[in-house]
Amino acid sequence: MNKAKIYKILFYIGMIILIIPPIFVFAWMIMIGLKTGVQNIEYPPLFIFKPTLENFKAVFQQHNFLKYLTNSFIIATGATIISLFIGLPAAYSIARYKQRNLSIGILVARMTPFVSYLLPWYIIFRKLNLIDTFTALITTHLIITLPMIIWLMIAFFEGVPIELEEAALIDGCVRSETFLRIAIPLSKNGIITSAIISFIFSWNQFLFSLILSGPKTRTVPVAVYNFMSYGKIDWAGIGAAATIIVFPVLVFAFFVKNRIVEGLTRGAIKG
């Protein structure tokens, strides 16, 4: 009885130790955004103050964040949809025919340093006059989303019982029908999971947008990074902008946490 009590207390201490670092950093981020510029450089740091929404207003009105949020949304959604469209059949085929060579090719894609894509793509897109277009950004974001979706979906398709498909084949379905009518509906959870993970990684991607975007297609990570340019750091602006950028991903993470766990771990343990 006593031992059980000690265990219980230890568990709650562990819980507090684990959630303080994330909670504190995110809370501090929001607080920076709610303080004025002057309050932000006060020492000792202010913990109690009169919050202001001015920074958030400025981020939208002066820094045009609604546009950057839209850009990021278009790019992440576009890259994810295209990746699903061409990635699902590929993953299905790799899962069913055990095409190990192709899955190794996907791993190579994941290993390649992102910097190595920048120069060739920059040169090509400049020749094609495509710098600062959604075409360029969605194309390069496929480098992240496509391997990720294929790699996650291989594991999910492997989890679809092959007996169901065999039964359908005997009943006269063709393979494409088993794919569309059996494998896809049965892996709906997996598809949602990998789409979400793919969206988050595309949303968070910084390097491609840094080189290939411009005023028209700038994404949120680059927009927030720009708050730091020219030697002067707008801390209050960074706090507000960071909060706005991180918020959608955290909401995603909150509602679909168990799915993210499932997606990551399926791919990992089988991978």
What minimum distance in Å lies between the beta carbon of 79 and another protein?
11
Tell which positions 191-210 bind another protein, by CB under 8 A: 200, 203-204, 206-207
Q: How far is the CB of 239 from another protein (least distance, A)?
A: 7
Nearer to another protein, 214 or 271 (CB): 271
Site for another protein in 133-172 (CB under 8 A): 139-140, 142-143, 146-147, 150, 169, 172
- Number of chain residues interacting with another protein (CB under 8 A): 95
Q: What is the 3-state secondary structure (H, E, C) of the chain?
A: CHHHHHHHHHHHHHHHHHHHHHHHHHHHHHHHHHCCHHHHCCCCCCCCCCCCCHHHHHHHHCCCHHHHHHHHHHHHHHHHHHHHHHHHHHHHHHHHHCCHHHHHHHHHHHHCCCHHHHHHHHHHHHHCCCCCCHHHHHHHHHHHHHHHHHHHHHHHHHCCCHHHHHHHHHCCCCHHHHHHHHHHHHCHHHHHHHHHHHHHHHHHCCHHHHHHCCCCCCCHHHHHHHHHCCCCCCHHHHHHHHHHHHHHHHHHHHHHHHHHHHHHHHHHHHC
Taking alpha carbons only, the member of 72, 65, 118, 119 closest to residue 217 is 72
Please identify which residue in 102, 130, 184, 186 interacts with another protein, judged by CB under 8 A: 102
Is position 117 an interface residue for another protein (rule: CB under 8 A)? yes
**Binding of another protein by 184 (CB under 8 A):** no
Contact code string over 57-96 relative to another protein, x by CB under 8 A: -----------------------------xx-xx-xxx-x
Residue 264 touching another protein (CB under 8 A): yes
> Binding residue for another protein (CB under 8 A) from 9, 51, 53, 110?
110
Give 36 or 204: the residue with its C-beta nearer to another protein: 204
Minimum Å gap between C-beta 53 and another protein is 19
Identify which range of 106-114, 128-136, 156-164, 180-188 contacts another protein by CB under 8 A: 106-114
Chain residues 17-46 in contact with another protein, contact rule CB under 8 A? 18-19, 21-23, 25-26, 28-29, 32, 40-45
